[in-house]
C-alpha cells in the first residue's frame, strides 16, 4: 500500500509539475536517490532478514537418516547403526533428525504433513529435511510429486518413539535375521527372491528391492498400501502386480501353495 501511494504520488508530480529547465540537476539527484539509494537500502535490509532466517534453520540434525526414494517405495538407512529398512522411519521424540534425501529413478517428494513441509528427492543430487516430533505416535507420509503409476500408493510411516523404545528398536533392527525356519530361509535363498532382496545373516544379498531382514516387524507391506498380515504377504508374493500394478516386483505364479505358506511364515517371523 505504501509503495502504491509513493509511486502514484511521484507519477502525479511528474505529470502536473511546472515545467522548468533549471530543475534538471535536482531531478538527476531524485533519480539517483529513488532508483539506486532507496532500493539498495531496501534490498540490504531484506538480505539481512533472509540471512537471519537461514542462520536460524538447523543445518545439521542431532541424528541422521538417509532416505532413498524408488518407484514406488522408500529405502531407509540408519548410518550410525548401519542397517536398512523400508517405508517406516522410526525417530526418537524431541530430537532433530536430519533426513538426507536421495532418489534412485525419478523425482519423488518426501512429505509427512504433521511433521514438516515437502522436500523433493532428485536423482543425482541430494536434498535434506529436518524432522522433529514432540509426541510419540505414528505419522503418515505420502510421496507428493507425481512419479508414475503408483504415486498415490507411495506411502510411508514415521513412527516417533520414546527414546528408550527407539534404542530398543534400533538394537533389534541392527541384528541379523534369526530364524528356526530353515526351510523358509532356504526357499527364500534359492527362489528369485534373493536376487532382489537382502536378508542379513543369509545368502540373500540382492539390493534392488527392500531389505527384508526384519520385515515381520513392519506395520505395512507395499509401501504403506497393505497391512502386514500373512494373507496380504502371500498375495503379494504370488502376484504383486495384481495388487499394485507397475511396481517392480515380478509375479511368482509357479510357487506351490505349501511353499508359499512356509515362505510367508518365515518372513512374518523376521521381527
Q: Does 151 engage in binding with ligand CUA (CB under 6 A)?
A: yes
Using CB under 6 A, which of the segments 88-96, 145-153, 181-189, 192-200 binds ligand CUA?
145-153
Give the residue, chosen from 75, 119, 145, 161, that forms a contact with ligand CUA under the rule CB under 6 A.
145
Q: Does 154 engage in binding with ligand CUA (CB under 6 A)?
A: yes
Site residues for ligand CUA, 14-73, by CB under 6 A, read 69, 72
Find out whether the peptide bond into 72 is cis, omega within 30 degrees of 0.
Answer: yes
Number of shown-chain residues binding ligand CUA (CB under 6 A):
9
Minimal distance, residue 144 CB to ligand CUA, in Å: 7
Q: Does 119 engage in binding with ligand CUA (CB under 6 A)?
A: no
Compute CA distances 122 → 69, 157, 229, whole Å. 9, 21, 33
Minimal distance, residue 192 CB to ligand CUA, in Å: 25
Q: Does 147 engage in binding with ligand CUA (CB under 6 A)?
A: yes
Q: Does 146 engage in binding with ligand CUA (CB under 6 A)?
A: yes
Site residues for ligand CUA, 66-105, by CB under 6 A, read 69, 72
Using CB under 6 A, which of the segments 27-35, 142-150, 165-173, 194-202 binds ligand CUA?
142-150
Q: Burial letters for 139-148: b for 16+ Cβ neighbours within 10 Å, e otherwise?
A: bebbbbbebe
Minimal distance, residue 154 CB to ligand CUA, in Å: 4
Phi, psi (5° rounding) for residue 225?
Answer: -85, -35
Give the residue, chosen from 133, 143, 225, 264, that forms a contact with ligand CUA under the rule CB under 6 A.
143
Q: Does 244 engage in binding with ligand CUA (CB under 6 A)?
A: no
In contact, 222 and 240? CB cutoff 8 Å: yes
Q: Nearest CA to 63 among 138, 142, 157, 163?
A: 163
Cell (9 digits) for 241: 502386480
Burial class of residue 41 (count of CB atoms within 10 Å of its CB; 0-12, 13-18, 19+)? exposed
C-alpha span between 43 and 57 (Å, rounded): 21
C-alpha span between 4 and 266 (Å, rounded): 71
Burial class of residue 210 (count of CB atoms within 10 Å of its CB; 0-12, 13-18, 19+)? buried
Comparison of 151 and 200: residue with beta carbon closer to ligand CUA: 151
C-alpha span between 13 and 7 (Å, rounded): 10
Minimal distance, residue 146 CB to ligand CUA, in Å: 6
Comparison of 27 and 126: residue with beta carbon closer to ligand CUA: 126
Give the residue, chosen from 90, 98, 108, 200, that forms a contact with ligand CUA under the rule CB under 6 A.
108
- Sites of contact with ligand CUA (CB under 6 A): 69, 72, 108, 143, 145-147, 151, 154
Amino acid at each position: 500500500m505504501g509503495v502504491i501511494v509513493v509511486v502514484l504520488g511521484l507519477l502525479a508530480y511528474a505529470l502536473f509539475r511546472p515545467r522548468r529547465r533549471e530543475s534538471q540537476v535536482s531531478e538527476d539527484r531524485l533519480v539517483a536517490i529513488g532508483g539506486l539509494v532507496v532500493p539498495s537500502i531496501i534490498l540490504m535490509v531484506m538480505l539481512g532478514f533472509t540471512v537471519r532466517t537461514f542462520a536460524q534453520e538447523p543445518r545439521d540434525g542431532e541424528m541422521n537418516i538417509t532416505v532413498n526414494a524408488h518407484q514406488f517405495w522408500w529405502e531407509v538407512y540408519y548410518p550410525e547403526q548401519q542397517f536398512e529398512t523400508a517405508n517406516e522411519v522410526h525417530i526418537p521424540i524431541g530430537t532433530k533428525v536430519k533426513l538426507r534425501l536421495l532418489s534412485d529413478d525419478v523425482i519423488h517428494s518426501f512429505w509427512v504433513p504433521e511433521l514438516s513441509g515437502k522436500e523433493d528427492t532428485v536423482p543425482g543430487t541430494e536434498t535434506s529435511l529436518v524432522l522433529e516430533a514432540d509426541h510419540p505416535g505414528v505419522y503418515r507420509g505420502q510421496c507428493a510429486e507425481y512419479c508414475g503409476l503408483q504415486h498415490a500408493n507411495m506411502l510411508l510411516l514415521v513412527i516417533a518413539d520414546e527414546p528408550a523404545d527407539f534404542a530398543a528398536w534400533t538394537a533389534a533392527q541392527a541384528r541379523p535375521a534369526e530364524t528356526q525356519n530353515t526351510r523358509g530361509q532356504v526357499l527364500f535363498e534359492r527362489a528369485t527372491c534373493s536376487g532382489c532382496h537382502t536378508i542379513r545373516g543369509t545368502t540373500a544379498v540382492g539390493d534392488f528391492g527392500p531389505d527384508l531382514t526384519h520385515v515381520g516387524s513392519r506395520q505395512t507391506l507395499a509401501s504403506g498400501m497393505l497391512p502386514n498380515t500373512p494373507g496380504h504377504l502371500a498375495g503379494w508374493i504370488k502376484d504383486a502386480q495384481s495388487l499394485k500394478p507397475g511396481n517392480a516386483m515380478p509375479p511368482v505364479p509357479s510357487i506351490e501353495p505349501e511353499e508359499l505358506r512356509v515362505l510367508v511364515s518365515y518372513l512374518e517371523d523376521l521381527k
